[in-house]
């Protein structure tokens, strides 16, 4: 079996985001949670990372997460094209 090619550093994070994003959509589509609940979850995540950035020694990652979550809340794809 051939060795796997190296992956970009952000591949795992992008995959996790895509999976979570799809799960929230599926849960809402199946009426297991409301769209409002899905938005509330995302807003909680954004708030947590906004607060973490304020006390972090390197807030860039937390701020980037907030930007991604805000894109999702605005109805846009999480990954810029």
pLDDT band at 7 (very low <50, low <70, confident <90, very high): low
20-68: pLDDT as tens digits:
999 999 999 999 999 999 999 999 999 999 999 999 888 998 999 999 9
Question: How many angstroms separate the Cα of 15 from the Cα of each of 4, 11, 12, 64?
Answer: 17, 6, 5, 16
pLDDT at 15 over 60: yes
Predicted TM-score of the model (pTM): 0.77
């Amino acid at each position: 079996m051939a060795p796997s090619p190296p992956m970009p550093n952000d591949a795992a994070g992008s995959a996790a985001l895509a999976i979570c994003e799809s799960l929230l959509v599926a849960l809402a589509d199946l009426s297991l949670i409301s769209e409002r609940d899905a938005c509330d979850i995302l807003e909680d995540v954004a708030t947590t990372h906004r607060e973490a950035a304020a006390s972090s020694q390197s807030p860039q990652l937390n701020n980037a997460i907030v930007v991604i979550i805000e894109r999702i809340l605005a109805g846009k794809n999480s990954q810029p094209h």
